[in-house]
Amino acid sequence: MQTLTEQDREQSPSTPRVPNVRASHLLKVPRLWATVVVIASIVVVVMSALYIGSVVNPTGHLDGLPVSIVNEDTGVTVSSRELDFGERVQSGLADSRVSRFLSLQPETLAGAETAMDTGKLYAAIVIPPQFTGSLLALSAPRAASAMPAGQPTIRLLTNNRAGTEGVALATAVVQPAIASVSRQIGRQLLASASRTSAAARLLLAAPVAFSTVAYHPLPSHSALGLSAFFTALLTMLCGFLGAIIVNSAIDTALGYAAVDSGPRYGHRQPVLISRTQTLLCKWAIAFVLTGILCGLMLVVAAGLLAMNAPDPGELWLFSWLAAASVATGTLALIAILGTPGQLIAMLLFVYLGLASAGGTFPLQALPGVLRLVNQVEPLRQILSGTRSILYFGAKGNAGLTGGVVAAASGLIFWLVIGTAVVRWYDRRGLHRIAPATLAYIQQVAHPGARQDDISPERVAESHGSPVDRPERPEATDGGNGL
């Protein structure tokens, strides 16, 4: 790197005097203010709308939360009359306002457990066997004082592995609904009872008990079910931040970005390289780097902090694939859009991802627009795969297959789009730095040398690394290679 000291400039009579710009001069430029204020305002407005909009009213947006209803009651026959309170509870829930919030799916207990084991359900409402018989026994005179211990209980099996906030929302909807059904049944039993004591009337006022039971509780050191979300978030950041670091380092090394470290400022002599070759180099380094970063992330999380990770090897491979996909997309956007690409990538992968991933509140509690976005948003797919590995035994139908397919598809998509666009830039001669400008810079850096004498090897001396000489330098135009 060749630089002139301040003393050299003062002693050189040919060096023009550069006017000294003061901060007060810059602060009087309206365009400078407008650019900063407009861009920052747009980012903050979008960020606030996404973040706050996704969590401000989950109950108001709640629609179709998957909860099954298991009716094991068989009913009884009394005086040739068929009574089935279990069916009444099931139909009452389906016809009530509960159906606005929950997607009540009739299911057997074994079917509900299978669905919960793959993260398809947040909870299951279980109406026990002999539910009708137990209720009728409560209204029998001889049993009125002895039946509190045998009070029929509807259980809510909760699946915290699918998401603790989703379970909380399901419980908040189901519990008051069961209490309402219990009061309705109690009024019917009181009306049909022949003789009732005060204790019996008190019991029959709300004859159905309600309890929540955790189905396969979360393992310890799982951050109350949030370890999957934070691991997925760190995976995405490994890809995004890794891409930003690679982009800055490569552009600095190639002379397309300044070296600004503390009081020291410098600029390497730029080299003649096409956009395609630059992007391929960045992609290759980012692919290796994301594997290292994801490995370090898991060493800290699972190794040092003892986070529950039953299969760290598979988690690392999946995280690497997902992070590489995000890094590839970030670098492609920067290559296509330039400096604004970094901001677009941050909005797309980070802000929009956090708002639509369903990491805290379930997808069914998000606004409608974000529900559509999460189908293609990388963080949602990373979360599904990570949750499958951490909580569901790495089952493919628990989200791992979908996560792998989405990450691989995203990787291929960004490789194709990025390559196609930058190759088109190269064919159109849209250089990052015009070849004539590069030639002028080389002549200044190597005064007295003919243009033909300025070889790639000589230029590389200032970078400390070898550069292969092209076989036909006379055909090089900066558009298709070195």
DSSP 29-84: -HHHHHHHHHHHHHHHHHHHHHHHHHHS-HHHH---EEEEEEE----EEETTEEE-
What is residue 108's predicted lDDT score, i.e. its pLDDT? Answer: 94
Length of the chain, in residues:
482
At 221 the three-state DSSP class reads coil
Which pTM does this prediction carry?
A: 0.84
Domain stop point among 180, 214, 248: 214
In this prediction, residue 446 has a pLDDT band, given cuts at 50, 70 and 90, of low
Shared domain for 354 and 471, answered yes or no, is: yes
Hey, what are 415's tokens? 């490789």
395-411: b (≥16 Cβ within 10 Å) or e: eeebbbebbbebbeebb
Hey, what are 160's tokens? 């915290």
Domain stop point among 173, 194, 214: 214
State the total domains in the chain: 2
Q: Cα separation of 261 and 249, whole Å?
A: 13
Shared domain for 238 and 144, answered yes or no, is: no
Is residue 263, in this structure, part of any structural domain at all?
yes
Q: Are 327 and 239 in contact (CB under 8 A)?
A: yes
**Residue 276: pLDDT over 70:** yes
Shared domain for 257 and 299, answered yes or no, is: yes
The whole-number average pLDDT for the span 341-349 is 93
Shared domain for 289 and 265, answered yes or no, is: yes
Shared domain for 417 and 332, answered yes or no, is: yes
Instruction: Report the candidate in 122, 59, 130, 125 with the shortest Cα–Cα distance to residue 92.
Output: 125
What is residue 4's predicted lDDT score, i.e. its pLDDT? Answer: 43
Domain of 262 in residue numbering reads as: 226-482
CA 70 to chain centre: 33
CATH of the domain at 158: 3.40.1710.10
Hey, what are 250's tokens? 């490569």
Percentage of the residues of the chain whose pLDDT score is greater than 70: 84
Residues 16-37 pLDDT 10s: 676 788 898 889 999 999 999 9
In this prediction, residue 9 has a pLDDT band, given cuts at 50, 70 and 90, of very low
**Residue 402: pLDDT over 90:** yes
Shared domain for 372 and 468, answered yes or no, is: yes
Residues 42-89 pLDDT 10s: 999 999 998 898 889 998 899 999 999 999 988 887 776 788 888 989
Shared domain for 141 and 269, answered yes or no, is: no
Q: Write down the H helix ranges in 121-274.
A: 131-138, 164-192, 198-204, 227-254
Is residue 13, in this structure, part of any structural domain at all?
no
Q: Are 177 and 98 in contact (CB under 8 A)?
A: yes
What is residue 457's predicted lDDT score, i.e. its pLDDT? Answer: 53
Residues 156-209 pLDDT 10s: 999 999 999 999 999 999 999 999 988 888 888 877 766 566 766 777 788 889
What is residue 432's predicted lDDT score, i.e. its pLDDT? Answer: 86
To which residue do tokens 């990025």 refer? 418
What is residue 195's predicted lDDT score, i.e. its pLDDT? Answer: 58
Mean pLDDT over the full length of the chain: 85
Total Cβ atoms within 10 A of residue 273: 21
The whole-number average pLDDT for the span 311-337 is 97
Shared domain for 206 and 233, answered yes or no, is: no
Domain stop point among 185, 214, 243: 214
What is residue 271's predicted lDDT score, i.e. its pLDDT? Answer: 87
In this prediction, residue 261 has a pLDDT band, given cuts at 50, 70 and 90, of confident
The whole-number average pLDDT for the span 256-260 is 85
**Residue 14: pLDDT over 50:** yes
Total Cβ atoms within 10 A of residue 23: 7
Is residue 249, in this structure, part of any structural domain at all?
yes
For strand 153-158 and strand 209-214, is the pairing parallel, antiparallel, or unpaired?
A: parallel
Hey, what are 244's tokens? 């930003």
Q: What is the DSSP string of 98-142?
A: HHHHEEEEE--HHHHHHHHTTT--SEEEEEPTTHHHHHHHHTSGG
Q: Cα separation of 194 and 206, whole Å?
A: 18
Q: Cα separation of 71 and 254, whole Å?
A: 69
What is residue 5's predicted lDDT score, i.e. its pLDDT? Answer: 43
Instruction: Report the candidate in 131, 124, 207 with the shortest Cα–Cα distance to residue 159.
Output: 124
Shared domain for 265 and 191, answered yes or no, is: no
Residues 77-127 pLDDT 10s: 777 678 888 898 998 898 888 888 999 989 999 999 999 999 999 999 999
Q: Write down the H helix ranges in 274-399.
A: 275-298, 312-337, 339-345, 352-356, 368-373, 378-391
Is residue 48, in this structure, part of any structural domain at all?
no
Is residue 7, in this structure, part of any structural domain at all?
no
